[in-house]
Structure 1
């Protein structure tokens, strides 16, 4: 099984907030089994910009961490294609919202990936397979 990491899972690998269960689970996988969506990058960037006003040093630390993640996942960051956008459009109408989680779900569905997330309830209605590494 290969996985698309939701933002909460990727964030759980940061040194300051490292979750040992998530980190241990990720170490059981090969790099070819773990992917990111460009939407996850956008969600993290949004958080960095919010922190830039509130806590510039924390924002700088987050930016450095994100840059490191971009290097590590560079060949495993999935873009939004026309097929993904169309699936997202269908999901938004069926489920009645247009949040980033639906774009992540659409990406996973198009690539045959499971979504690794703590927020399983956000993804289950989409029909995508979900896995919660926080509950190992």
Structure 2
């Protein structure tokens, strides 16, 4: 992982988050898979490193805590597109958080503006 993508090391918010309470969306897995496949096409060695990271670190770390997209999430996502269409991935992530009462942790805060979801940016120092 690039160091500029890691959360700010001094961010006090990181210290109080219990890893076991964290989860990710299946949509996040989709984004990671898509990114790794894209890198693999251009740089096999880097793609292999990213694949190992996903399979040996991410998936085990979130085993049993990868959230599916269900009917309620899909319905809430549809409502987020009216009256202004949104990026589908961001809308699905926001809908997941809204339906399940979760916080979205992202550095792309602007992508979730107006969605009514609580957002936490751990990348701000």
TM-score range, shorter chain: 0.7 to 0.9
| RMSD between superposed Cα atoms in Å | 1.9
| Residue 118, structure 1, aligned to residue 74, structure 2 | no
1:125 shift after superposition: 1.3
The aligned runs of 1:9-88 (5 Å cut-off) are 14=1, 16-17=2-3, 19=6, 21=8, 25-67=13-55, 68-88=57-77
TM-score by structure 2 length?
Answer: 0.87
Larger Rg: 2
Per-residue CA deviation, residues 8-37 of structure 1 (Å, 9 max, x unaligned), is xxxxxx3x4263526864443112431100
In the alignment, structure 1 segments of 5+ residues that lack a partner are 1-13
Flag as ranges the 4+ runs of structure 1 deviating above 4 A. Answer: 22-25
Aligned length: 122
TM-score by structure 1 length?
Answer: 0.80
Structure 1 or 2: larger helix share?
A: 1
In 2, Cα distance between equivalents of 1:26 and 1:130: 14
